[in-house]
Structure 1
């Protein structure tokens, strides 16, 4: 497989991540992305429940009684954490549920990131991409590697966010942090590839591509394995740790998309550029 990617049909492979990116953006545009309670605000309640009670039973009961939707419940032993995406009056909640559950805590969660803050995050991401491109251009003195790295990072994020929409992972403080980590990791593998391909002189272009691919795949698969283990541990043993679940899920999708965007698209673009007389 590595031999096929690095030595043979690299041009057609560029299309695969591009198609996935377009499909992800289309899906995101149609179905949107849910916002977590820490972004849009709401109510968080901790309940002491019967160990035989399931999260679906609690969710259905609260949604029907309060007339709300998108309630999320996680249970750890006899403790249930309920997230309600609207502001609920504490007295009203206690009147309706005090006979059914022992209410351990009740708090209204204000929106942590306002629209202005989200706009600033977008600006920060844009500036990060611009400065990354400028740095790469300064190092390699070539516009194509700079553009390839930016395109790869955009592709990586687009597929990851599309996966979040597909699997119902909300945009929260945890998932935003995971997406920011993906930018750093994706650029890291892209820089590795670009350096090996365009800066080093040992061996042929295909040899350098294969060497970079083996190193990069080892790095990504190692990180991916760690995230899969973390995700399974959280799901099986500590289901109440929703933050860890969201971070690991986003990173898993992002690392998978990084494999495609770096070793299919970016590698193909750089080899095509080098074969056409680019700097190498």
Structure 2
């Protein structure tokens, strides 16, 4: 069996500003991407079919990819908003965000063009709007509840804020990358963001507890926390990476999107926990308490 040992990092080589600079710079870039996206589109991240309403059809087209996409564009009126190919076969997932044509009419157009309709479903705009409100409200409630619980646990400002800022950055960075990679906000990706909050709180509270509440010198406590926290996060990261690759190869778009968001979130969590959170805790331990 292969043994994994978390290396002991010499944090004394870096000042608190140096440790915090990289995570804060990445967070600033992520916020700029989201702000720019909002200015250009009116939304911070593109909502998926579950939130906007519309129809989705999965069709099989017996033609090379380029020719198949051209035939799909010509076959439908109105043309599909998005066309996503499934790498494992000649299947394409088409989305339509219109109320003018029903899903049955779209199926007829597909069959008339010689396509095999494998599945279809539709979501009304009003239902999608309510679903979006509930989903985003759930994320906000989870984040606020987590923040309140952290403040109740530590009862001191700096350690509590360190956890909250790290968790906030863990969410913002994947959302910005969703815009860059054209991943839509769906119920699946909302669930991934909720999972990221949980992962972030686990690793941050673990670090805070070892440093603030357990015996031992600061760097010794840090390494003890990292042995557990880094192993836990890397294990989850490896599992999500494999899931994302397999889901992409087999055209399971929902799992691929969830896995991608989790990979970005877990990677951000490693950076924020052991650079940003740690720098704030070290300042609090050696300078904040002393003053």
Q: TM-score normalised to the size of structure 1? A: 0.86
- Matched residue, 1:225: 238
CA contact (8 A) 2:50 2:128 kept: no
Q: Which of 68, 71, 80 is equivalent to 2:82?
A: 71
Greater relative CO (CA pairs within 8 A, separation 6+): 1
Aligned residues: 274
Q: Which of 9, 22, 26 is equivalent to 2:28?
A: 22
Q: Which of 253, 260, 275 is equivalent to 2:271?
A: 260
Q: What runs of 5+ residues in structure 2 fail to find an aligned partner? A: 1-6, 38-43
Aligned equivalents of 2:79 and 2:8: distance in 1? 51
Query: What secondary structure sits across from 1:100 in the alignment?
Result: coil
The offset of 1:70, in angstroms, is: 3.4
- Matched residue, 1:11: 17
The offset of 1:11, in angstroms, is: 3.1
Q: Spell out, residue by residue over 1:53-76, the C-alpha distance to the aligned partner (whole angstroms, 9 max, x if none).
A: 42x544443335535463123335
Aligned equivalents of 1:256 and 1:8: distance in 2? 21
Aligned equivalents of 1:94 and 1:114: distance in 2? 25
The offset of 1:111, in angstroms, is: 4.3
Q: Spell out, residue by residue over 1:230-266, the C-alpha distance to the aligned partner (whole angstroms, 9 max, x if none).
A: 1111222x11x11110110000010111111111101
- Matched residue, 2:50: 38
Aligned equivalents of 2:55 and 2:283: distance in 1? 53
CA contact (8 A) 1:71 1:85 kept: no
Residue 98 of structure 2 corresponds to residue 86 of structure 1:
yes
- Matched residue, 2:211: 197
Q: Spell out, residue by residue over 1:59-118, the C-alpha distance to the aligned partner (whole angstroms, 9 max, x if none).
A: 443335535463123335354432233343333662475133133444323348644554
Pair 62,84 (structure 1): closer, same or farther in 2 beyond 3 Å = farther
Q: Which of 219, 236, 246 is equivalent to 1:206?
A: 219
CA contact (8 A) 1:47 1:101 kept: yes
Q: Which of 269, 273, 276 is equivalent to 2:280?
A: 269
Q: TM-score normalised to the size of structure 2? A: 0.83
- Matched residue, 2:183: 169
